[in-house]
Chains A and B, each alone.
Chain A
Amino acid sequence: MDLNKLFKAMLVAIPMMAISACSSTSDSETDATSSNSSSGSELTTGGVETGGVAPVLTPQEQQRLKYQELRKEHIIYFDFDRSSVSAQFAEVLQAHGEYLIEHPNVRVMIEGHADERGTPEYNIALGERRAKAVAKYLQGMGVLPSQMSIVSYGEEKPLDMSRTDDGFAVNRRAVLVY
């Protein structure tokens, strides 16, 4: 819930920037992170180190673990004034969908949210359309309509209150609440 897609993207982007920064010039603070990781194995502290192997998993088990990991992501983000589900969230929704299909007794609440631009009343309508787009997506996968309910909070519950473009992007979202 708190580790959203944006941050994940940043987690990938920052080390990549660090690597590229190292290869060209090396005067930023990103140096420290790269030198740390490379010198880690060469430490001679006299302490012991343990090793191990990953358990052998069937493809089904691997899939389940992957979905379990993906389901920790509860938030789908949207473009400004748009309510179509972007392809980058297909995997996350796939994980939630599979889970809901396997567990027909589980119910999920889909909250729709908007950024603070426009009027609160229009944003309620926009938030509902986003929540419905997610519900429709899941229904398309085979999730029962009776497992899903919808509420739109419009611009009333922002995650980010900076009122910057980045903040707005974080607030335009649908949230799956079990």
Chain B
Amino acid sequence: MKTLGKWLLLGLVVMSMPARAALDIVITEGVDAARPIAVIPFVWQGQGPAPQQISDVVMSDLARSGTFNPLDELGLPQRNIAKVSQFVAKEWSNVAAEAVVMGSVKPMGPDQFLVNFELVDLVKAQMQSGNGPQSSSEYLIDSSEVVISAEQFRQYGHRISDIVYEKLTGIRGAFLTRIAYVVVKHGEKSPYHLMISDYDGHNEKMLLRSPEPLMSPSWSPDGSKLAYVSFENKKAEVFVQNIYTQARAKITSYDGINGAPVFSPDGKKLALTLSRDGQPEIYVVDIDTKALKRVTNHYAIDTEASWFPDGKSLIFTSERGGRPQIYKVTLASGKVQRMTFEGEWNLGGSISPDGRSMIFVNRTNGKFNIARMDLETRFMQVLTSTRLDESPSVAPNGTMVIYGTTYQGKQVLAAVSTDGRFKARLPAGQGEVKSPSWSPFL
């Protein structure tokens, strides 16, 4: 019965989302642990049918954060209210949720809409309703009022979600972010596509299409550029492309591998892999001057560099111990230190934005899954149970990991919360989807 209810709720969440997302989400685990929240559909105060429903964006954001479980709107005691002054605490006494999101949309002129939003502390309201009538403003956690165009509806929905998430969890929301990924449509003349979309798969845009492979997209810290590998000239080369102006610059084109580029935290350099001296080594290249600095020097494979948030050290994958494991190198001293010991392989690591944990691919008993290790305690936890997991990328607020996996014989994207509780799949419409990269805060 509980499962049935969960599925019904899930169906509603999915149905209430516009069908335009290129990557619709399927939450596979973790609804039970999520915190109930009430989102009242925003009241439309204009003539005729309402434009897009902003509260749908908020509902789906909160659901896919894994932290919240929006209640079925049909079961809410008050549904046509937009302000806390209209909120009657008594009617909500039996609703098991911690907060209520409400708002309104009012046309102001040609393509201009006044959007009002209020966040109500339901627990406080329920506790105080026994003490007779109170000033309703006491329950108000946050509110805002802006004028936007119809095109900005989704974006503002994400902004409201960011506010709700931060007010209720203390963690900055990552709903106003993007993802970059590669779509491969085998059989097409130009099968390889570099794509970006909003973090939820909406507003998908193609940045580059090529007859030859595209790999390893990675965001600049200001979210304006992507570094990636392109084989368009029948060899691996590293490019940086501005996502607004479309301007492209070739950064490296040495003999052999030019791979795995990642922007330094200050955005001025790329750490990458070059095999110009024989075997794959980690280098740092200055984007403006193209000056190279070699970081590693070992006859085994060294690749997949990733920066610590302070920009002073890198982690990378090395086979110097016989099998791929993750190592740390301090740039100033060149000192190398092994980070991972558990499992057969550990590779493709990156450091969480707070610098406290590492997310990577772990191979145990021949299975490849996403894992997290606390850098202080060295405690490792395998987060996923999907197949052939690779390319983990952490959200800028550190709460969620997006990664590439295989589902029903196809490469798709999936997400898992960094505590491993919430799991979701983002099924692809067409082709194989891989190499996701989560943008910084926009």
Q: Which residues of A contact B (CB under 8 A)?
A: 116-122, 124-126, 128-129, 150-154, 156-157, 161-163
Contacts and interface: CB of A to CB of B under 8 A. Distances in A.
Interface string B234-253: 11100000000000000000
B309 interface: no
Given A151-B234, A161-B409, A163-B409, A120 B215 contact: yes
A117 B362 CA distance: 11
B273 A162 contact: no
B236 A122 contact: no
Q: Give the dominant DSSP class at B's interface.
A: strand
Given A128-B275, A157-B213, A121 B260 contact: yes
Nearest to B300: A125
A150 B256 CA distance: 7
B352 interface: no
B216 A120 contact: yes
Contact of A128 (B215, B257, B324, B434): B257
Contacts of A119: 304, 317, 347-348, 361, 390-391
A54 to B, nearest CB: 42
Contacts of B345: 118
A124 B368 CA distance: 17
B301 interface: yes
A121 B257 CA distance: 10
B276 to A, nearest CB: 12
A14 B301 CA distance: 40
B259 interface: yes
Q: Nearest 10 pairs between A and B by C-beta?
A: A156-B213, A119-B348, A121-B260, A125-B301, A125-B280, A121-B304, A119-B390, A125-B303, A124-B259, A121-B303
- Residue in B231, B256, B406 whose Cβ sees the most chain A Cβ within 10 Å: B256
Contact of A120 (B275, B324, B363, B390): B390
B260 to A, nearest CB: 4
Interface residues of B, number: 35
Given A118-B361, A119-B347, 18 more contacts: A116-B406, A117-B363, A117-B368, A118-B347, A119-B390, A119-B391, A121-B215, A121-B259, A122-B301, A124-B260, A126-B301, A128-B257, A129-B301, A150-B256, A151-B231, A154-B215, A156-B213, A163-B387
Nearest to B432: A161
A122 B303 contact: yes
A117 B388 contact: yes
A67 to B, nearest CB: 27
17 contacts: A117-B388, A118-B345, A118-B368, A119-B317, A119-B390, A120-B390, A120-B391, A121-B259, A121-B260, A121-B273, A121-B348, A122-B347, A124-B260, A128-B275, A151-B236, A156-B184, A156-B231
B216 A121 contact: yes
Nearest to B234: A151
Interface string B292-333: 000000000101100000000000010000001000000000
A157 B214 CA distance: 11
B185 interface: no
Contacts of A118: 324, 345, 347, 361, 363, 368, 390
Interface of B: 184, 186, 213, 215-216, 231, 234-236, 256-257, 259-260, 273, 275, 280, 301, 303-304, 317, 324, 345, 347-348, 361, 363, 368, 387-388, 390-391, 406, 409, 434-435
A124 B234 CA distance: 14
Contact of B236 (A116, A117, A124, A163): A124
Nearest to A156: B213
A152 B368 CA distance: 22
Nearest to B367: A117
A55 B392 CA distance: 62
B400 to A, nearest CB: 19
Contacts of A157: 213
Contact of B235 (A126, A151, A163): A151
B26 to A, nearest CB: 20
Nearest to B361: A119
Contacts of B348: 119, 121-122
A86 to B, nearest CB: 20
A48 B213 CA distance: 55
B388 A163 contact: yes
B275 to A, nearest CB: 6
A152 B434 contact: no
A156 B348 CA distance: 16
A151 B237 CA distance: 11
Contacts of B235: 151
A15 B257 CA distance: 44
Contacts of B317: 119, 121-122
Nearest to B387: A163
A125 B406 contact: no
B405 to A, nearest CB: 11
A16 to B, nearest CB: 31
Contacts of B324: 118, 122
A151 B233 CA distance: 11
